[in-house]
Amino acid sequence: MSKREPRVVIIGAGVAGIATAVTLQKAGFSDVTILEKGSDVGGVWHWNRYPGLTCDVPSQLYQFSFAPKPDWSHVFASGAEIQRYLHGVVDKFRLDVRLNAEVTAAEFTGSGWHVTTAAGGELDADFVIAATGVLHHPFIPDIPGLDTFEGEVVHTARWRDDITTAGRRIAVLGSGSTGVQVVSALQRDAAHLTHYVRTPQWVMWAPMGLPQPALAGAILKRVPLANRALYEALLQGSGILADIVTRPSWRRRVVQEYARLSLRAQVPDGVARRRLTPDYQPLCKRQVLSGSYYRAIRARNAELVGERIEQITPRGIRTADGQEREVDLIVLATGFQTHNYMRPMNLRGRDGLSIDDAWAKGPRAYRMTAIPGFPNFFTVLGPNSPTGSISLQYSAELTARYIVAWLKRFRDHEFDTVEVTEDATARFNDDVAAALGPTVWNTGCNSWYLTDEGNIDLWPFDRRTMTKLLAKPELTDFYLK
C-alpha cells in the first residue's frame, strides 16, 4: 500500500507552532498549514510590544535548535529582536502560515477534523495540533468605574504605537514581570508614575540591559560547533533551575536568599522595603528579574501604592483610604487568563464531546499533549508545560517529534485514528499531582500557575524525565482504530 500524506493543521504561529511546523517539515511532512489569529506570526512576541518588553530567558537559550542565532544584541533580548528572529525562521523554512485566521471551531468527524475560521474559511485535516499558548487572552480586571475613565486605558498585551507616555501622569496596575518592566521603562519620561501593587513580588536583580559583546556573536557565528556546544551547555545548566523549583534543597535556599538580598541591597530604607516585601517565598510566583525596577519606583516622580483600588473615576483612581490620584493614562499590566489554552474555540472531539466538558475540572492532558476524547488531536505546550523551569523551545520541539512518531505510523497505515486512554491520562495526572507537592510553586502564593480549581498547571519533573516520557509513543496508552 502506498504511503498517505497526513493533512495537518497547526493552530497558532507562536514559538510552539513554529517549532512544530519546522519539526514536521524536517521529518518530511509537507501538508502542514498554520492558522494564526493574529495579523503576524510570533505569538506573545507579536501581541506584546509595550515599552521595556524584554525576555527574561537568556537569548542564547531562547532559540530553536534548528535555527541557531548566536548574534543577539543583548544577553536578554528585547521583544522586538525576538520577533525579528521568529520572522526570519518562518521565512527561512517557508512555513505555510495563514494570518488573520482565527479558528472558531474544530470538530472531529469520526475520521478526521473539520476546522472553521472566523472569516468563514473551512479546512479538513487528518490531525489538528493546538499550539495556542498560555499567555494570550489579556485579563482585564473588573474594577468599578473602569469604563468611566476619560483618559486612555491600555492593556500591555494590546499596546498601541500611538500612545504617548512622556510628560503624562501614568498609573500602572500589576506587579508581575510585565508591570515591573513597564514601570522601569516609563518612569524616566513620565510626569508622574504610580504603581498600584496588590501583591508585592520578589524582584531578583539581573543585568537585563546587558549588551552581548558583538565579538562573541561573531565568533559563535563563525564556529557553529562552539555555538552548539554553548547551547547544549546552557540547556544542561538550566537543569539547575528545574531542580531548584521542584525540590527543596540548599540550592533553592541560596537562590531565595539572593532574592531577599536583591531587595535589601537596593532598598536600604526600612519603610519602603517593608512595603515591597512579599509575604510568601521567593520563586513561588513566576520569578521577576530586573536591574532597574527598585531604582525606578524610588525616583522622585514615582510612587508605589499598596492600598486596594476602590474605584476608577473619570479622572483617576481612588483607593480604599479615600485618596484619589488623577492620571492621564492607565496601563493594565494585569496578566492573562492563563488556562484557556485553545478556548473559547468550539472544540469538539469524539461523539461531540466539547473541550469545556472534558475540562470541566480544569485543563488536563496526557504528557502535556494528548486529551482523552479527542482523537488525532495534540497540544504543544499544552497543560502542565514547563513555563517556569525548562526551555520552551526544547519542550515544543520534543513534543513535536513525539507527534511526528504518530504521524509516521499514520502515514504507514498503522491506524486511522489515535486517542489516548482515560486510564493513562489519569495515571499521568496522579504522578504530576504527587510530584507538585514539594515544588516551590506550592508554598502558599497566588500566581498565574494556579488553575481556577487550585491545581498548579506546571511541569514538576526535570528535563530528562520529559525527554523520556516523550521519547516514543507507548502503544498501550492509546486506542488505535
Residues 271-290 that bind ligand NA7 (CB under 6 A): 286
Of 51, 68, 121, 141, the one binding ligand NA7 (CB under 6 A) is 141
Cell numbers found for residue 315: 479622572
Which range touches ligand NA7 (CB under 6 A), out of 88-96, 172-180, 346-354, 393-401? 172-180
Closest distance between ligand NA7 and the C-beta of residue 220, in Å?
A: 26
Tell me the C-alpha to C-alpha distance, in Å, between residue 136 and each of 224, 299, 338.
Answer: 34, 32, 7
Which residues are bridge partners to 195 per DSSP? 172, 304
Contact string 182-221 vs ligand NA7 (x = CB under 6 A) = ----------------xx----------------------
Which phi and psi angles does 213 have, rounded to 5°? -55, 130
Contact string 16-45 vs ligand NA7 (x = CB under 6 A) = ------------------------------
Q: How many residues does the chain have?
A: 481
Which range touches ligand NA7 (CB under 6 A), out of 86-94, 174-182, 226-234, 450-458? 174-182
**SS3 (DSSP) at 480:** strand
Q: Is 175 in the site for ligand NA7 (CB under 6 A)?
A: yes
Query: Cα torsion for 279, 282, 286, 292, to the nearest 10°?
Result: 100
From CA 305, how far away is CA 282, in angstroms rounded? 21
What sign does the CA torsion over 175, 135, 81, 404 have?
Answer: positive
Which pairing describes strands 127-130 and 103-108: parallel, antiparallel, or unpaired?
A: unpaired
CB of 201 or CB of 266, closer to ligand NA7: 201
Residues 434-453 that bind ligand NA7 (CB under 6 A): 446, 448
- Using CB under 6 A as the binding criterion, the count of chain residues that bind ligand NA7 stands at 19
Q: Is 459 in the site for ligand NA7 (CB under 6 A)?
A: no
CB of 47 or CB of 127, closer to ligand NA7: 47
Q: Is 79 in the site for ligand NA7 (CB under 6 A)?
A: no
CB of 174 or CB of 373, closer to ligand NA7: 174
Q: Is 123 in the site for ligand NA7 (CB under 6 A)?
A: no
Sheet holding 302-305, edge to edge: 152-155, 329-332, 169-173, 192-196, 302-305
Q: Is 391 in the site for ligand NA7 (CB under 6 A)?
A: no
Sheet holding 377-379, edge to edge: 97-98, 32-35, 8-11, 127-130, 377-379
Q: Is 15 in the site for ligand NA7 (CB under 6 A)?
A: no
Cα diameter, the chain:
77
Which range touches ligand NA7 (CB under 6 A), out of 86-94, 175-183, 243-251, 430-438? 175-183
**SS3 (DSSP) at 203:** strand
Residues that bind ligand NA7 (CB under 6 A): 135, 141, 143, 173-179, 198-199, 286, 309, 333-335, 446, 448
